[in-house]
C-alpha cells in the first residue's frame, strides 16, 4: 500500500508540474514603463520643417492669414539667420519669422477643411454656464491656436441673430468679430472669393441676416 501511495504522489506532482504555465522568455518584449518612455521620446522628436515659398499664403496663429513677401538672410552676432517676411493684409503688419522657428506657421486650409468649417457653422452653438471671464479666455486661446476648426467653433458659439445682438456684451462682440474676420480671410484665400462673398457664404451657414454687417 505504501508503494501505491508513493506512485500516486508522484503522479499528482507530475500533474502539478504540467499544469503550471511555462513562462516564455522574450528578448524583444518591453515592460509598460519602457513603452511609455519610448512613446514620450517619439512625441518629443522634432517635426519635419515645413518649406514655404515667396507669394505663398500662410497662417500665423496670433494674426491670421498672411502672405510671404520675401525670404531674407541676416547676420546677427556672427550667426547667419534665414527668415520669412510675412505681410498681414488686415493689420497692415509685416512679421519677421526665423525659418528655424517657423513651427507656428501653417499652410492655409484645403477646400475640404473649409467645407467642414461650414458644417460646423451650421450646427447649434454650445451653451456654457461658466462665468464669462473664464469662457472669454477659452475663446481667446482657440482663436490664437491657429486651428481652423477651433476658430469655426468660436464663431458658431458666439454667433447671435438679429434679435439677440443687443444683448451681446462688448467684449463678447469683439471676440466674435476677431474670430469671424480670421475665418473669413481664410475662406477668401482658399475659395478665391471677394471679402463680401466670403462673408455672405459664412453668414448663410450661420443663419445670419444678410443686412447685419460685422465691422
Show pLDDT as tens, one digit a residue, over the chain (215 residues). 454 544 544 455 444 444 455 454 444 445 545 544 444 443 444 445 678 999 999 999 889 999 999 999 988 888 888 999 999 998 899 999 888 766 678 999 999 999 999 999 999 988 778 898 899 999 999 999 989 999 999 999 999 865 555 567 889 999 999 999 999 999 999 999 999 999 999 999 999 875 545 55
For residue 126, the model assigns a pLDDT of 84
CA angle 145, 180, 63 (to 5 degrees): 45
3-state class percentages of the chain: helix first, strand second, coil last, to nearest 5: 50, 15, 35
Q: Where are the domains of the chain?
A: 57-107, 111-206
CA angle 161, 166, 167 (to 5 degrees): 90
| CATH architecture assignment, domain 57-107 | Beta Barrel (2.40)
Grid coordinates belonging to 54: 515667396
Three-class DSSP labels, 25-45: CCCCCCCHHHHHHHHHHHHHC
For residue 100, the model assigns a pLDDT of 78
For residue 17, the model assigns a pLDDT of 45
For residue 102, the model assigns a pLDDT of 64
Whole-model pTM: value is 0.70
CA distance 89 to 3: 100
For residue 165, the model assigns a pLDDT of 53
Superfamily, domain 111-206: CarD-like, C-terminal domain (1.20.58.1290)
For residue 213, the model assigns a pLDDT of 52
Torsion (CA) 201, 205, 209, 215 in degrees, nearest 10: -60
Contacts of 147-151 spanning 24+ positions with Cβ under 8 A: 148/59, 148/109, 148/113, 148/114, 148/117, 148/183, 148/186, 149/113, 149/116, 149/117, 149/120, 151/117, 151/179, 151/182, 151/183
Amino acid at each position: 500500500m505504501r508503494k501505491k501511495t508513493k506512485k500516486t504522489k508522484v503522479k499528482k506532482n507530475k500533474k502539478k508540474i504540467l499544469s503550471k504555465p511555462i513562462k516564455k522568455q522574450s528578448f524583444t518584449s518591453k515592460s509598460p514603463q519602457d513603452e511609455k518612455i519610448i512613446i514620450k521620446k517619439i512625441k518629443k522628436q522634432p517635426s519635419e520643417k515645413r518649406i514655404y515659398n515667396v507669394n505663398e499664403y500662410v497662417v500665423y496663429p496670433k494674426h491670421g492669414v498672411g502672405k510671404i513677401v520675401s525670404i531674407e538672410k541676416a547676420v546677427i552676432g556672427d550667426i547667419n539667420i534665414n527668415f520669412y517676411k510675412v505681410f498681414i493684409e488686415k493689420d497692415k503688419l509685416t512679421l519677421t519669422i526665423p525659418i528655424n522657428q517657423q513651427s507656428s506657421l501653417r499652410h492655409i486650409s484645403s477646400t475640404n477643411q473649409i467645407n467642414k468649417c461650414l458644417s460646423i457653422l451650421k450646427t447649434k452653438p454650445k451653451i456654457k454656464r461658466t462665468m464669462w471671464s473664464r469662457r472669454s479666455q477659452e475663446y481667446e486661446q482657440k482663436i490664437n491656436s491657429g486651428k481652423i476648426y477651433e476658430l469655426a467653433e468660436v464663431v458658431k458659439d458666439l454667433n447671435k441673430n438679429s434679435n439677440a445682438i443687443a444683448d451681446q456684451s462688448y467684449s463678447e462682440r469683439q471676440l466674435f468679430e476677431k474670430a469671424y474676420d480670421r475665418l473669413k480671410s481664410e475662406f477668401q484665400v482658399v475659395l478665391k472669393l471677394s471679402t463680401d462673398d466670403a462673408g455672405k457664404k459664412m453668414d448663410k451657414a450661420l443663419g445670419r441676416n444678410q443686412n447685419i454687417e460685422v465691422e
